[in-house]
Chains A and B, each alone.
Chain A
Amino acid sequence: MTLDIDAILTNPDKHIIVCTGSGGVGKTTTAAALGLRAAELGRNVCVLTIDPARRLAQAMGLTELDNTPRAVAGISNGSLSAMMLDMKRTFDEVVESHSDPERAEKILSNPFYQALSSSFAGTQEYMAMEKLGQLRAQSQWDLIIVDTPPSRNALDFLDAPARLGSFLDGRLIRIITAPARGAGRGIGRIAALGFGIFTNVLSKLLGAQVLADVGNFVADIDTTFGGFRERADATYALLKDSGTEFIVVAAPERDALREAAYFVERLNQDSMPLGGLILNRVQEVPETGLTQDQVLAAAQKLTAEGEGQLTSALLELHAQRMEIKERQKHLAMRFTAAHPNVSVQPIPALAQDVHDLAGLREIGEALANQGITW
């Protein structure tokens, strides 16, 4: 089954496209190419990237990527803006917009907050969701395309915000940071196990100052901010909306396809809308009606006769590519056998990296080409 990407891009009811997949499969480039194509099909598009390579930013003519959408020049029909997520800045802005300046200042200078906003596992995913929610709330764009962070696994994009939210809202953080309050009430199991040891070990491991910083942070944020978990749940709901479409990106390699399979299964389980799988970097081989063995035998015959070095090299190259293609197809077929309802769009490997809008446009055409036989 092939993927009709143009039908998704031009569907006025679709407002969010999430590109996901494991690292190194070309997610960011795919997101940018989809954005450009949608814009040229008449949509007003914003592409939210997480960590674009310098070249890709240049390809879109962007000199600064600074947490604000910047318009890309040279687009006909619709419009295209692109931005790069700055997670710390996004978090700071959330804090600032939810508290008075004095309290905001206190939170922003708290060492625990600084660690939380710049190096926590899950903060990037949380802030990507937060930014997505903000962009969606503005009426300037009718389609937002999100590239997901280079997480350890693709599911982190879905799970990390809620995990971080629960943690920050959680019982443990409150008990530990307010021992008097916690110990005063019946805290059951924890008290039974010896609350003393618990805080004692933690402060040995982390230092008493860290726990104090966490305590101050929780107290300051409590009165102004509302629940972290609630916030994460709200954006998660946005992803389950029928206006959202997930596009899973993979390469024809075992690991990347395994990640893709996990993700597809999860989307099914949560009834989230899956557009299809984009399989980047597939080896294309023109059809010649010959088998790999025939081609190799011919190459060997020439080599044995000590003639036709060039032709024999060309034949070997052809045979090599056939072998790579066969292996890739085998992997792709295993994926399809397990997930027969997922449409798959193969994208041929490019000899060169993308340098400009023309390059992105070319990828966009490949994404929409229903005639790619592979």
Chain B
Amino acid sequence: MQNWPKATLHVVTGKGGTGKTTIAAALAIALAKDGHRTMLMEVEGRQGIAQLFDTPPLPYEERKIAVAPGGGEVWALAVDTEDALLDYLEMFYKLRRAGSALSKMGAVDFATTIAPGLRDVLLTGKACEVVKRKEKKQENAYDYVILDAPPTGRITRFLNVNGEVSGLAKVGPIKSHADSVMSVIASEQTAIHLVTLLEEMPVQETLDGVTDLEVNGLPVGGIFVNMTRPPQLDATQRSMAIAGQLPKSEIENEISQSGLMATPQLIDALLTEASDHAERVDLEITEFERLTQRGLPIFVLPLLPSGIDLGGLYELAALMTASGIGEE
């Protein structure tokens, strides 16, 4: 891929309400284009992927949920802490049966509650395990793993597992597990993308998030600007609209020419909407400029007036492809 040539793990974060899961899903489709296999993972138990793809709730099991143009496949997995811990116990201690007994007693809950860092290592660890299959040339490998991650406010803590477990075990298997997770996450194998809207608060949070990630040595990928409304008016028209100087009689004539009645309600509606739209577009331009100052690749995606359904995901994926995502 052109922008992040070595990234296999694509982590997607964003402020609540910005469409983080939607972007992760569209990215999984875009990257699966032309015969690739991608894995879309979620870790917060929200079942957001199932809702988006309109499938029954995902179990802790890799499932094919969509195909991509050119014979690609999108797989999905909802990672559950409890199962991830059992996997871990099995892998390092051959303790699956004892693990199941422990989990029935609530011990898994207990352990992840008294040590929240443990949960994050297990979740990110699962993502890294899937990523590493490719290197190991395993049959169940994926070309790209897309992680629908926790929101911007929690992302650095979530990914920076080394810092999180340092209070736990200074040596031993959890520590080495965390080290191996970090060797993937803090490398060019990973790209962390932030989803935002062109509004003041989400843009500020995105900029703060980028700084936070960079300070902690985590690789920032790109910024996905979601739900933009393409400007219908050019700059001159916008300033006229805000100043209330759009040529009213000309518009009235053209309305009549278009076959509609130039009623005062219609003309007023159009002028009010024009000024509202212009104000909004100008604000978006200001916010967009603040984003560009970070020098990161920016991908702009439109608000789909009909809302997000499966078709909408493919539409967004096609736009991502058109802007160079998935190019090799």
Interface residues of A (CB under 8 A from B): 22-25, 51, 53-55, 111-112, 115, 119-121, 150, 152-153, 167, 172-173, 176, 189-190, 193-194, 197-198, 201-202, 204-207, 210, 214, 251, 253-256, 285-290, 294-295, 297-299, 301-302, 305, 307-308, 310-318, 320-321, 323-324, 327, 351-353
Contact = CB atoms under 8 A, between A and B. Distances in A.
Contacts of A324: 303, 305
Given A24-B18, A119-B116, A210-B114, A307 B254 contact: yes
Contact of B232 (A297, A317, A353): A317
A324 B229 CA distance: 11
B269 A311 contact: no
Given A119-B116, A190-B105, A314-B232, A302 B111 contact: no
Contacts of A204: 93, 172-173
B273 A314 contact: yes
B168 interface: yes
Given A298-B258, A311-B251, A202 B101 contact: no
Interface in B250-301: 250-251, 254-255, 257-260, 263, 265-266, 268-270, 272-274, 276-277, 279-280, 283
Given A120-B113, A327-B305, 10 more contacts: A22-B16, A22-B17, A198-B105, A202-B110, A205-B169, A206-B174, A285-B269, A310-B237, A317-B274, A353-B200
A253 B170 CA distance: 45
Contacts of A318: 269-270, 273
A115 B167 contact: yes
A24 B107 CA distance: 34
A321 B257 CA distance: 22
B254 A311 contact: yes
A173 B269 contact: no
B157 A351 contact: no
A120 B116 contact: yes
Contacts of A299: 258
Contacts of B157: 119
Contacts of B259: 297-298, 301
A253 B110 CA distance: 35
Interface of B: 15-18, 44-46, 48, 51, 89, 93, 95, 98-99, 101-102, 105-107, 110-111, 113-116, 118, 151, 153, 157, 167-170, 172-174, 199-202, 204, 229, 232-233, 237, 246-247, 250-251, 254-255, 257-260, 263, 265-266, 268-270, 272-274, 276-277, 279-280, 283, 303, 305-308
Contacts of B265: 286-289
B173 to A, nearest CB: 7
Given A150-B151, A307-B257, A197 B98 contact: yes
A54 B254 CA distance: 46
A204 B172 CA distance: 8
A317 B241 CA distance: 13
Contacts of B44: 152
Contacts of A194: 98
Nearest to A294: B260
A32 to B, nearest CB: 13
A55 B205 CA distance: 12
A42 to B, nearest CB: 31
What 8 A-B pairs come out closest when comparing CB atoms?
A24-B17, A23-B16, A308-B254, A24-B16, A286-B269, A298-B258, A311-B254, A207-B169
Contacts of B232: 313-314, 316-317, 320
Nearest to B240: A310
A318 B265 CA distance: 13
A315 B270 contact: yes
A162 to B, nearest CB: 14
A194 B98 CA distance: 9
B201 A353 contact: yes
B169 A206 contact: yes
16 contacts: A51-B153, A55-B201, A119-B116, A121-B116, A150-B16, A172-B105, A201-B93, A202-B110, A255-B48, A287-B265, A288-B269, A301-B258, A308-B258, A313-B233, A317-B232, A327-B305
A312 B257 CA distance: 11
A197 B97 CA distance: 11
Contacts of A307: 254, 257
A173 B307 contact: no
Nearest to A353: B200
A268 to B, nearest CB: 23
B258 A206 contact: no
Given A290-B260, A301-B258, A207 B170 contact: yes
A176 to B, nearest CB: 7
A206 B307 contact: no
Given A23-B17, A288-B265, A207 B172 contact: yes
Contacts of B204: 53-55
B269 A24 contact: no
A206 B16 contact: no
A254 B168 contact: no
A189 B118 CA distance: 26
